[in-house]
Amino acid sequence: MVITARTTRRIRILIALIIGLVMSAPLLYMLAGSLMSNSQLSIQPPQVIPSSLHFGNYPAAFSGMTQVIQVRSFVNSVVFTAGAVGLQWALCISGGLVIAKMHFRSRGLITVLFAISLFIPLLTTLIPTFVVTYKLGLINTYPGLILPIAAQTGFGSLLFRQYIKQLPEELFDAARLDGANWWLMLRRLVIPLARPATAAYLAISVLTAWNMYLWPLVAAEGGSLQVLTQTLATVGSSAQGEVTPQNVIFASVVIVTLPMILVFLAVQPAFIRGLAGSGVE
């Protein structure tokens, strides 16, 4: 039997496709389920492709008896993500410039501090971070939700440092000859030139913030500051799950996840560069 190179190639493509479908199966199941009626969902064997489409699950997730998603939670998620990422970006790109290009004594120490903080995720310092936020009177406020997350500047500062360090020194010398100070160099030189690093940074941190669950859970105990991950958690834990129909729950998960899937598909190359870049060297 002769297996040609062409056939092996086709087999490889086929295997890659099949395994890819397996890997994304839970997502496809969620998408298909969000378009089915509840009787379609409970049929055995399970339907892979819905026999008829029920788009009504989507409006049902927003209103009426089956409402899962409050507009307020959507707004909260957007404010939280934009606030935390925007603020953190500003802190990180200026911090990155400082530890990449400026000469001063404690530079090494600061860089090491950032590096160490990578191994102390918020989760392990949840208790004292909550205490600090609580004592500042910020629990159940937007600042309390946003500031402790924006303060996790270790990863971002190091990412920008890596990128800014490789910008040619001559650019900065030239700007200095033109009389620019560091603030102007940050605004006119670094921010425009570091756009690829910003893209990678945004890709990773927007996903992280939007998907964050634990901090909003403890920082917004009241409810009016609830974000979307909490909304999902409420319908996902068993007690509530029986009340809301499965198809509406699936539609809600799609509504919450779809923005991030679109973001991810749009920035996939930047995302991959950002991650892969952190490993190279």
Partner 1 sequence: MSVTQLSDPVLANLSAPVAVARPRKRRRDGRWAAVLIFPNLAMFTIFIVVPVLGGLYLSFTTWDITNGFPRWVGLANYRQMFHDPLVWQASETTLKFIGMGMLPTVILSLWLAMLINFKFRGISVVRSLYLIPAAMSFAASAVVWRYIFLDGPGYGVLDYVISKFGVTPPDWLASTTWALPALDMIAIWLSLPIATILYLAALQRIPDSVIEASTLDGAGPLRRVRYIIWPGVRYMTPLVAIVSLLSFTNGSFDLVNILTKGDPINSTQTLIYYIYFESFGLGMWGYAAALSILQVAIVAGILVVLRGVSSLVNRW
Our finding on whether 230 is near partner 1 (CB under 8 A) is: yes
Number of residues this chain uses to bind partner 1 (CB under 8 A): 113
Return the residues of window 252-271 that contact partner 1 according to CB under 8 A.
253, 256-257, 260-261, 263-265, 268, 271
By beta-carbon proximity to partner 1, the closer residue of 24 and 224 is 24
* Smallest separation (angstroms) from partner 1 to the CB of 132: 6
Residue 17 binds partner 1 (CB under 8 A): yes
CB 267 within 8 A of CB 195: no
Of 165 and 195, CB closest to partner 1: 165
276 contacts partner 1 (rule: CB under 8 A): yes
Query: Using CB under 8 A, which residues numbered 18 to 47 contact partner 1?
Result: 19-21, 23-24, 26-27, 29-30, 33, 42, 44-46
Q: Which of 104, 101, 102, 113 lies closest to 165, judged by CA?
A: 101
Say which residues have a Cβ less than 8 Å from residue 247's Cβ, sequence separation at least 6: 33, 34, 35, 36, 37, 38, 41, 54, 57
Find the part of the chain contacting partner 1 (CB under 8 A) among 49-57, 58-66, 149-157, 194-202: 149-157
Measured at the alpha carbon of residue 138, what is the angle toward residues 133 and 143, in degrees to the nearest 5? 105
Q: Which of residues 43-82 bind partner 1 (CB under 8 A)?
A: 44-46
Q: How far is CA 103 from CA 33, 110, 173, 182, 190, in A?
A: 58, 12, 14, 12, 17
